Structures are given as C-alpha cells and as structure tokens.
Amino acid sequence: MHNIVVSGGSGAIGSAFVDELVRKYPHARIHSLSRSPDARVPEGVQWLQVDYLDEESLHAAAEQVAKEGAVDLMIVAGGILHQGDMMPEKSLRDLSAEKLLALFTANTVAPALTAKHFLPLLPRDRRGVFAALSARVGSISDNHLGGWYSYRASKAALNMFIRTAAIEIRRRNPQAIAAGLHPGTVESGLSQPFLRNVAPDKRFPPQYAVSRMMDVIATLTPADSGQCFAWDGSLIDP
C-alpha cells in the first residue's frame, strides 16, 4: 500500500481506521478527509478539510491526493443514523421530508460524490479498493423487523450505488474492487442510544471492528466487487 485515503476520518470508526492504517502501513502516504476544522490526526497523516456536498472542495482534495500517485485504498467511513432530536422512525407516522433528506444526504449523496472524484484515482493496472461503510439493515431481503425507514433506504441506495460503480470501474480495470462494509454494532456516538438493546458480546469497540474489516478488505477479490460484506467476512444479501 502506497497511497491511502480515509473519508470521514474524524469519526469514531474513521479515526480508528486511520490509526490502524498508520500501524499496518507505516510507510504509506495516508490522507484523512473530514469536515471538522479541529480534526486531530496521527503524526505523518495528511489531513484535508472537505465539504462532501461541494464538488469544488472534493475536486481540490482529489487533486492533492493524486500528487502521491494512484490510490491503493479508499475508505468512506462517514454517515449518520440520528441527529439531535431526529431519531430513526419506528413507524410510517414518524416519516418526514427532513429526516429522509438528512439521511440520504449523509449516507448516499456524500459517499456518491466522494466516489465520483476519488474512484478515478484507483490504479489502472493493479488491484485497488474502494470500500464504503454500509449496514446490514440496508439489505432488502434481510429486512424482517421494519422501521428505520430513512436509514434502511439510504443504505440500500448506497449499496446500489456501489454495485453500479463496480460495474463501471471494472471496464477500466478488471482488478479494481468497490465494496460495502458492515461494521456490526460499534460503540460510538452513532449507536449509543441503542446499545442498551444489544448484548455485550454483539457490540464492538471501533478498533476491533476496524481490525476485522481490514481483514475483510485484504481478502476481497475482483469477483467480490459490487457486493457488501459484514465485519466477519460474511456476504450480505441485497
């Protein structure tokens, strides 16, 4: 690995990815992208402030990253489940345009625009990986409980985007891989309001989830491109 990018590098999972990548690839050029102006990154990591809905900002960041050459690994770690008083819907009566737009913007639009500017930076002649954090609840076939309309739909849309992008990048480089990753229930601000309903052995600290997802990334092949995998390597059905 020579050139690595983590989008959403200031979040709980994103910062754990940055730390793990620094440990695993000490000689790589690692870039951490985030909107936060006070993001803290390990020594040697290049931090770039990015507005994910501003394509000029994304283009400028991509140009900066490209100075180091092709991107061997791109991880998109941003996303939201709730925000302030805005919580996941339990039923149709809880739906609102505000919730739908907020979650689709964070979980689908921002990763899609990020991919638009960074997927072209993957190598053209060797393996390169674009991995975006998705969620098992984005699986249509695995939805047996209902609820969480906006979050489920935004992650399902992200999975479709990844699938479609994988088809396109395969035409340019058959070795390129685009995949979704489900981190499991990670102990973070995103999951905090719901942890009381999760058994202790079913929730993980960010460092553990990231370590397992890195193992999954290492085993991905071009045949896996366009699919979504859980932290334990299991395939998540669409």
Quote the CA–CA distance of 109 and 112 in Å, as a whole number.
5
Number of domains composing the chain: 1
Distance (Å) of CA 176 to CA 36, 80, 179, 196, 211: 30, 27, 10, 40, 22
CATH number at residue 222: 3.40.50.720
3-class DSSP state for residue 149?
Answer: helix
Q: Minimum mean pLDDT among 83-87, 112-116, 176-180: which range? A: 83-87
Structural domain span for residue 101: 3-236
pLDDT at 238: 85
Per-residue pLDDT at 199 exceeds 60:
no
Quote the CA–CA distance of 25 and 4 in Å, as a whole number.
9
Name which of 13, 17, 36, 15 is nearest 25 in CA terms.
Answer: 17
Q: 15 phi and psi, to 5 degrees?
A: -70, -30
Confidence tier at 191 by pLDDT (50, 70, 90): low
Each residue's pLDDT tens digit, 54-63:
999 999 999 9
pTM of the model: 0.92
Number of neighbouring beta carbons within 10 Å of residue 126: 11
